[in-house]
């Protein structure tokens, strides 16, 4: 008994010191926690609740069941929006990863004027999607941009009218997105390439392994954390794609370049159909959760299970 008493007292003292140490941090984080709970989680729950109502101009708290979701999936404009975001997301993310990686490999060759190239490649990312969209809208306009320039040079039969072509207009959004986002991927990949052990390259040269094989079989697997980081950042841009479309095409021609975010904004603030707009927003939220769940499980949940 004479031995246990000091031990209990000591552990109690440590607990009190630990509590006093953590108290200032908890107080400092309290406003942020309240903002997260009220603004983010609260607004998400409010949006989901409104999607089950018949709200039009103003929110109502009645119960409308799944009617808004039935109307949503029968709406051609929303179906086209969903198809467009899949096309844009697949081409934008894969294109940015490939182009960004190639640009990073180019700069990693210790080229002369490396700083200039890094600035040029990264500069588009410093501009907003609105500025990017307006610039590409001018450049791809058949009456003002590339097509007119080439025809004025004497090539009268040259045609590049994707911006006003319903089948090809979505790909002009992809081109503008690639120009804007590839620089970010380049910066992330370049940071990873600079961290690769130089002895690895020396060993590959001694073994006579082709350079392209080293990049694809050795370097790329080492860059997996960078690839994941870039993919998550690019995917965020895909989900909130709105201003680029508005600046370039306003969703046209027709509904050829409609995207879910524009569908939601139009129904909330122009068409006075809050119920349908929040139903589309809820579908977007569920889609994001389904896409991110495997990555969150692999990155955070499974490692904790191994440690316990």
Q: Render pLDDT for 203-223 as a digit per residue (tens, 0 to 9).
A: 888 888 888 888 888 899 999
Determine the angle formed by the axes of helices 260-269 and 274-296, rounding to 10 degrees.
150
pLDDT band at residue 1, thresholds of 50, 70 and 90?
A: very low
Determine the angle formed by the axes of helices 169-193 and 76-107, rounding to 10 degrees.
40
Residue 11: DSSP 8-state: H
Determine the angle formed by the axes of helices 129-140 and 169-193, rounding to 10 degrees.
130
d(CA 160, CA 157): 10
d(CA 144, CA 15): 72
Contacts of 264 (CB under 8 A, 6+ apart): 277, 278, 280, 281, 284
pLDDT band at residue 8, thresholds of 50, 70 and 90?
A: low
**3-state SS class at 88:** helix
Percent of the chain with pLDDT over 90: 50
Residues in the chain, how many? 308
d(CA 288, CA 292): 6
Residue 255: DSSP 8-state: T
Residue 18: DSSP 8-state: H
CA proximity to 135, closest of 97, 95, 180, 99: 180
**What does the pLDDT look like over 240-298, one tens digit per residue?**
899 999 999 999 899 999 999 999 999 999 898 999 999 999 999 999 888 888 878 87
The percent helix, strand, coil of the chain (3-state, each to 5) is 75, 0, 25
For residue 200, what pLDDT is reported? 84
């Amino acid at each position: 008994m004479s031995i246990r008493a000091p031990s209990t007292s000591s552990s109690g003292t440590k607990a009190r010191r630990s509590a006093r140490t953590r108290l200032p941090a908890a107080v400092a984080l309290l406003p942020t926690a309240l903002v997260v709970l009220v603004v983010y989680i609260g607004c998400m729950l409010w949006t989901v609740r409104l999607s089950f109502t018949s709200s039009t101009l103003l929110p109502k708290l009645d119960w409308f069941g799944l009617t808004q979701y039935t109307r949503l999936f029968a709406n051609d404009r929303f179906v086209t929006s969903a198809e467009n975001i899949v096309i844009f997301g697949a081409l934008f993310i894969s294109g940015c990863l490939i182009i960004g990686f190639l640009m990073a490999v180019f700069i990693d060759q210790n080229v002369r004027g490396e700083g200039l190239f890094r600035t040029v490649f990264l500069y588009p990312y410093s501009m907003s999607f609105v500025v990017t969209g307006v610039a590409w809208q001018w450049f791809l306009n058949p009456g003002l941009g590339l097509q007119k320039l080439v025809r004025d040079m004497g090539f009268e039969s040259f045609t590049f009218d994707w911006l006003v072509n319903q089948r090809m207009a979505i790909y002009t959004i992809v081109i503008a997105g690639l120009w804007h986002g590839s620089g970010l991927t380049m910066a992330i990949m370049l940071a990873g390439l600079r961290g690769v052990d130089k002895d690895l390259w020396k060993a590959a040269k001694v073994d006579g392994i082709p350079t392209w094989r080293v990049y694809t079989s050795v370097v790329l697997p080492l860059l997996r954390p960078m690839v994941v980081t870039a993919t998550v950042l690019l995917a965020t841009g895909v989900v909130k794609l709105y201003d680029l479309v508005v600046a370039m095409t306003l969703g046209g021609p027709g509904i050829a370049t409609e995207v879910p975010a524009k569908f939601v904004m139009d129904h909330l603030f122009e068409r006075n159909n809050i119920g349908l707009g929040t139903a589309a927003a809820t579908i977007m939220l569920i889609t994001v959760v389904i896409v991110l769940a495997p990555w969150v499980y692999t990155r955070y949940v499974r490692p904790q299970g191994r440690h316990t």
